[in-house]
Chains A and B, each alone.
Chain A
């Protein structure tokens, strides 16, 4: 089955700087890659996603890049703000099946004032 590795487990950046979180996946059939943000005591919230026919996607301060050849994808957050502090999860889904997402173990992003 699919295996998703996520790094780093903790990331501390100064407010206003950029943050990058990286994930790799093992199943070359995977074709959908979402990112979730989870705040303390809440459920994961979908913030951006990318499909395998696209190399990059942006939404305001958030961007995701995908390298299918290398089987890795990354989340980029620019001009970080205190409200960006949370745990971020990457995930992958193999095409054609209803069998859910495989998640990375998460990155705790800390924005230092």
Chain B
């Protein structure tokens, strides 16, 4: 899977708690992305990064923040989880912002 590791793979959390998902890459790719996948919506971009400490918002960024302090790690934080954030989250990496390679995903359930 192109040297991408997402952790945790599964998580159940309570409404109102903070949650952090981690994406780790060993490919030294410049671009990293967080998507969420929901039935009937396909994949939607949450946030992306084009370098260390360089991040920007995607289509569905409300309620999420990100950080990238090292090339290999891209963290997604839900400051106060809500039931609408129950989803499968995918990290992707790309060297050229064209060919993107995805991780295995994190299934998050907010109860």
Contact = CB atoms under 8 A, between A and B. Distances in A.
Q: DSSP majority for the B interface?
A: strand
Interface residues of B, number: 26
Interface in B89-104: 90, 92, 97-104
B74 interface: no
Contacts of B92: 100
B105 A43 contact: yes
Interface in B51-68: 56, 58-59
Given A46-B100, A97-B97, A104 B42 contact: yes
B48 A100 contact: yes
Interface residues of A, number: 24
B43 to A, nearest CB: 4
Contacts, number: 60
Contacts of A49: 98-99
A105 interface: yes
B64 to A, nearest CB: 14
Interface string A89-113: 1010100011111111110000000
